[in-house]
């Protein structure tokens, strides 16, 4: 084999090796754990796929949210939800959330403007960060839910799973798709394969 052909073969092998590594890196879960179940706070989640936002939407009967002045609408908090890109792509092609899926829930207070020519609600301050992780090998229920809010109000860098009755049971009973409230996320409904 001449030198040019050998160099071309080696370059192709290097490219294929990089492609395999790139594919593996982009399909692995961004969920990082310490020990069995302590989740390290995901970084860069705002660069993930934004699947939706809701305002005051809750299955809880004990909402402490502020009311919009002059309205009976319970504003509550904005809930912004992000999903890691590889899980979004897998869901778009199969309609299923793969192992390693992580969804981030970022909560923000609702500000209200009632000035002339400026009325409505907007996201004011970020107040909480939560996560849902699908990992059937790690969690017997398949999913675990986390809060990165410390007891002193300061954000945590790592968190333990919440008790089953805090989030899991409601998601298990009321979520449309595999513990995920896809009924509230038109971005996910739009890409899900039609059955």
Residue 18 has pLDDT above 60, yes or no: no
Instruction: Please give the pLDDT value at position 91.
Output: 97
- More confident of the two residues 177 and 115: 177
Predicted local distance difference test score (pLDDT) of residue 194: 83
Q: Give the pLDDT mean for 186-193.
A: 94
The 3-state secondary structure of the chain, one letter per residue: CCHHHHHHHHHHHHHHHHHHHHHHHHHCCCCCEECCCEEECCCCHHHCEEEEEEECCCCCCCCCCCECCCCCCECCEEEEEEECHHHHHHHHHHCCCCCCCEEEEEEEEEEEEEECCEEEEEEEEEEEEEEEEECCCCCCCCEEEEECECCCCCECCEECECCCCCCHHHHHHHCCECCECHHHCHHHHHHCCCC
Question: What average pLDDT does this structure show over 28-46?
Answer: 93
Look at residue 22 in the predicted model and tell me its pLDDT: 35
Average pLDDT rounded to a whole number, residues 21-47? 79
pLDDT at 64: 46
State the pLDDT at residue 59: 75
pLDDT at 162 over 80: yes
For 84-100, write each residue's pLDDT tens digit.
Answer: 999 999 999 999 999 99
Report which of residues 81 and 151 the model is more confident about. 81
Per-residue pLDDT, 153 = 82
pLDDT beyond 70 at 67: no
pTM for the whole structure? 0.78
């Amino acid at each position: 084999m001449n030198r040019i052909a050998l160099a071309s073969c080696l370059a192709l092998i290097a490219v294929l090796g990089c492609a395999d590594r790139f594919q593996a890196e982009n399909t692995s879960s961004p969920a990082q754990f310490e020990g069995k179940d302590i989740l390290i706070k995901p970084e860069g989640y705002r660069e993930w796929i934004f699947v939706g936002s809701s305002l005051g939407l809750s299955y809880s009967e004990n909402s402490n949210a502020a009311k919009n002045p002059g309205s009976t609408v319970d504003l509550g908090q904005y809930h912004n939800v992000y999903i890691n890109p590889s899980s979004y792509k897998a869901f778009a092609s199969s309609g299923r959330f793969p192992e390693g899926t992580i969804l981030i829930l970022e909560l923000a207070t609702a500000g209200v403007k009632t000035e002339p020519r400026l009325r409505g609600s907007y996201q004011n301050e970020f107040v909480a960060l939560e996560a849902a992780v699908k990992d059937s090998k790690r969690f017997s229920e398949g999913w675990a839910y986390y809060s990165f809010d410390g007891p002193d109000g300061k954000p945590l860098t790592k968190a333990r799973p919440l008790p089953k009755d805090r989030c899991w049971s409601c998601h298990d009973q009321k979520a449309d798709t595999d513990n995920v409230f896809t009924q509230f996320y038109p971005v996910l409904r739009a890409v899900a394969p039609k059955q």
